[in-house]
């Protein structure tokens, strides 16, 4: 498979009166054409900032650190100016967010927001854009698109709003779709609908999808590969099945052990002791070591990334933590 998006040594710095913190620290991953890569981690691990830096939509106080590269089809996006970035955002890389209510404009109808997105990037007339918008609404599984076209966001349910967001994201046939917790605010049955739509569209449009989530459950059976983030770093990358069957990093193992299951023997949950540290208090060396049951002297130094198997990498000093 050919690499479409190549993120290397990505660092994000946050500046404040209290000093500089680095919530994303030396993150590298590749996304191939037509592939779904899941970026998984708990709150504050830096997964959303990683996604935002790809489109350079970071908050004002944050910036991408020197030495970071984000290549799309061989072109580095980091040095691009605003005008050049606008030609990338939406058109080549699109993004959908957790809360569709805040990303849609409440004073415009669903239909007008889709047509606006189409006309911002394509030289088409109003009528053509409207027709394309109706097609898109149909494609994202909105029943009776003609009547939904003229509705305002508040008149739509959470699931419908997220579909409208997906329609907007698809309007310019992007090569990459970044989905940041796209179903976290939705009920499970609606979540299932949205995930199914995303998967179908990825296939029919041959898009690459970067799925950002805290939920290992939605990763299983949906993503081709998984990258697990902890405290600003990727600690493990593996093909999805392999990650669930042979997790190599103690954090991945502990995370999988702490999730309540629907099947299998019913037993007491095994939580991870302690809490996720804040970026201003990240420990030296392996950042998981204060909570790790296997930690030893060497964990005071940062472990290098090493290959465990084909396509399976981890950053841990232990050969086989069991």
Binding site for other proteins (CB under 8 A): 42-43, 143, 157, 159-160, 187-193, 196, 214-221, 240-241, 244-245, 254-256, 258-263, 266, 268-272, 275-276
Q: What angle do CA 22, 26, 30 make, to 5 degrees?
A: 135
For the chain, the first-to-last Cα distance in angstroms comes to 33
Return the number of the residue (58 or 101) whose C-beta is nearest other proteins.
Answer: 101
Smallest gap from Cβ 155 to other proteins, in A, equals 12
Indicate the Cα dihedral angle 18, 24, 26, 29, nearest 10°.
Answer: -170
Return the number of the residue (88 or 295) whose C-beta is nearest other proteins.
Answer: 295
Q: Say how far apart CA 313 and CA 321 lie, in whole Å.
A: 14
Q: Say how far apart CA 231 and CA 48 lie, in whole Å.
A: 12
Return the number of the residue (30 or 252) whose C-beta is nearest other proteins.
Answer: 252
Q: Say how far apart CA 306 and CA 295 lie, in whole Å.
A: 18
Smallest gap from Cβ 162 to other proteins, in A, equals 12
Smallest gap from Cβ 302 to other proteins, in A, equals 22
Smallest gap from Cβ 183 to other proteins, in A, equals 9
Return the number of the residue (206 or 241) whose C-beta is nearest other proteins.
Answer: 241
- The answer to whether 287 and 300 are in contact (CB under 8 A) is no
Return the number of the residue (89 or 289) whose C-beta is nearest other proteins.
Answer: 289
Q: What is the DSSP letter of 221?
A: T
Return the number of the residue (60 or 268) whose C-beta is nearest other proteins.
Answer: 268
Return the number of the residue (65 or 247) whose C-beta is nearest other proteins.
Answer: 247
Smallest gap from Cβ 93 to other proteins, in A, equals 26
Q: Say how far apart CA 108 and CA 105 lie, in whole Å.
A: 6
Smallest gap from Cβ 249 to other proteins, in A, equals 14
Return the number of the residue (74 or 260) whose C-beta is nearest other proteins.
Answer: 260
- The answer to whether 142 and 58 are in contact (CB under 8 A) is no
Q: What's the length of the chain?
A: 322
CB atoms within 10 A of CB 6: 17
Smallest gap from Cβ 105 to other proteins, in A, equals 22
Number of alpha carbons in the 13 Å side-chain half-sphere of residue 252? 29
Indicate the Cα dihedral angle 46, 50, 52, 57, nearest 10°.
Answer: 100
Q: Say how far apart CA 49 and CA 252 lie, in whole Å.
A: 21
Smallest gap from Cβ 141 to other proteins, in A, equals 9
């Amino acid at each position: 498979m050919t690499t479409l998006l190549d993120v290397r040594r990505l660092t994000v710095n946050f500046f404040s009166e209290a000093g500089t913190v680095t919530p994303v620290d030396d993150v590298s991953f590749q996304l191939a054409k037509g592939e779904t890569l899941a970026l998984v981690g708990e709150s504050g691990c830096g997964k959303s900032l990683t996604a935002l830096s790809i489109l350079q939509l970071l908050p004002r106080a944050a910036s991408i650190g020197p030495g970071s590269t984000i290549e799309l089809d061989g072109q580095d996006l980091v040095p691009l100016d605003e005008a050049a970035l606008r030609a990338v955002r939406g058109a080549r890389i699109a993004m959908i967010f957790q809360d569709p209510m805040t990303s849609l404009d409440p004073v415009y109808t669903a239909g007008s927001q889709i047509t606006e997105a189409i006309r911002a990037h394509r030289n088409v007339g109003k009528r053509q854009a409207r027709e394309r918008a109706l097609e898109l609404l149909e494609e994202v599984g909105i029943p009776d698109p003609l009547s939904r076209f003229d509705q305002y966001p508040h008149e739509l349910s959470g699931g419908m709003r997220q579909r409208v967001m997906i329609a907007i994201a698809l309007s310019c046939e992007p090569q990459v779709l970044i989905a940041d917790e796209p179903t976290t605010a939705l009920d499970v049955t609606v979540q299932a609908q949205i995930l199914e739509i995303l998967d179908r569209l990825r296939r029919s449009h041959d898009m690459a999808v970067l799925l950002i989530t805290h939920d290992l459950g939605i990763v299983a059976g949906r993503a081709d590969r998984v990258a697990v983030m902890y405290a600003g770093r990727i600690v493990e990358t593996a093909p999805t099945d392999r990650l669930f069957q042979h997790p190599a990093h103690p954090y991945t193992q502990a995370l999988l052990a702490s999730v309540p299951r629907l099947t299998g023997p019913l037993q007491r949950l095994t939580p991870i002791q302690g809490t996720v540290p804040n970026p201003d208090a990240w420990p030296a060396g392996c950042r998981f070591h204060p909570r790790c049951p296997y930690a030893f002297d060497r964990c005071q130094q940062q472990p290098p990334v090493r290959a465990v198997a084909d396509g399976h990498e981890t950053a841990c000093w232990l050969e086989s933590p069991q």
